Structure 1
Amino acid sequence: MNDYGSKSLWERIKQIFTGHSESPTPQVKDGILYSKQSDGTYLLSIDRSVFEQLGQITFADFPTDQAEVVVDDDLLDIEGDKSVETLKSPIAGKVIKRNFDLGQDIDKLNQADPQKNWIMVIEPAN
C-alpha cells in the first residue's frame, strides 16, 4: 500500500528517492505536542491549548532531573496568568536533551513554535 494519494508531485518524487515520506504528523496529549524526528527521537513542546488554558506563561521549572521518563511522569511545572499546571509525559523513554533555557527566557515558552518552546528530546523506550 502506498501513501501517494494526496501528496504533491514534489513530495512523491522526494519519497521515491529517499525511500520514506515526511515525518509523521505531531500528536498532542494533555498539552504536550510530541513529534517524531528523523533520528527516531521525539521532540516534546508546549501545545497551543496550554496558552488558552493558562494565559501568558510567567514561570517554568523542571520538577525533577530524571534521566528516563514513563508515561504521565511530571515534565514541567508552569505558571500562567490564569492557573498553575504540571505538564506530563505522553511517552516513555530516555531523556536525551532538556531545554534549561526555558526558565531564563520565558518569552520562548509563550511562542507557539515547537522549535522555540520545546521542553525535551526523548528517545522512546522499546
Structure 2
Amino acid sequence: MAKVSLWTRIKNFFTGKKQPTLTDAKVKDGIWYAKLPDGNYLLGIDESVYQLMGKITFADFPTQLNNLQVEDDLLDIEGDKSVETLKSPIAGTVIAKNDAIGKDIETLNEPNPQVNWIVKVRPAQ
C-alpha cells in the first residue's frame, strides 16, 4: 500500500482527521482490510487489482449494502482490461461507505488507503 504523503498527514493533523492505521492490513481476493483502533474494519482495493485490471473506469455499490457476509458482493468495478465484482473478506454491518467513489472514479485509481477505501464495517459478533 502507498504511504500517506507528508502534506496529507499535516492536513489531517490540522483538520482533526485521523488516518487509519493500516500496518496490520491483510489482503484477500483484491481487498485489503485493516482493523482500526475502534475495533471496526476499513476495507479497500489492493494494488494487485490495479495490476490485473489497469485503470478503473467504473464502480458501483450493490443496492443492498448494509449487512455483509464473507464473500458477499462489495463493489462492481470495470477496468481497462476486465470487469470484476470484489467480494467482502469479513462479515459485519456497514457503518460508512465511501460515497466519493461514485462521484469521482479517479479516487479509486490512487493506491492510497485515505482515498480508495470502500467501506467501514463493524464486525459481526
Give TM class, smaller chain: 0.7 to 0.9
Higher-Rg member (1/2): 1
Match of 2:26 in 1: 27
Residue segments in structure 2 that go unaligned for 5+ positions in a row: 1-20
Percent identity of paired positions between Structure 1 and Structure 2:
59
What is the one-letter code of the residue matched to 2:94? Answer: V
Indicate if the aligned counterparts of 1:23 and 1:36 stay in contact, CA closer than 8 A. Answer: yes
- Matches of 1:36 and 1:104, distance apart in 2: 26
Question: Residue 100 of structure 1 aligns with which residue?
Answer: 99
- Segments of 4+ in structure 1 off by > 4 A? none
Report what 2:74 is aligned to. Answer: 75
Q: Distance in 2 between matches of 1:102 and 1:23?
A: 20
CA distance in 2, matches of 1:28, 1:111: 17
Q: Secondary structure at the match of 1:52?
A: helix
Find the aligned partners of 2:81 and 2:22 in 1 and give their Cα distance.
Answer: 34
Separation in structure 2 between the aligned mates of residue 24 and residue 70 of structure 1, nearest angstrom: 24
Equivalent in the alignment of 1:11: none
Letter in 1 for 2:40: T
For this pair of structures, how many residues does the alignment match?
Answer: 105
**Structure 2 residue aligned with 1:43:** 42
Instruction: Using the TM superposition, give the Cα deviation of residue 23 of structure 1 relative to its aligned residue in structure 2, in angstroms.
Output: 6.7
1:66 offset after TM fit, Å? 2.5
> Contact 2:65 / 2:74 at 8 angstroms: preserved in 1?
no
Q: 1:23 to 1:114 in 2, by over 3 A?
A: closer
TM-score (norm 2): 0.80
> Post-superposition shift, 1:24?
5.8
Cα-Cα RMSD: 1.3
What TM-score, normalized by structure 1, do the two folds share? 0.80
Instruction: Say if 1:77 and 1:87, in contact at 8 Å, map to a contact too.
Output: yes
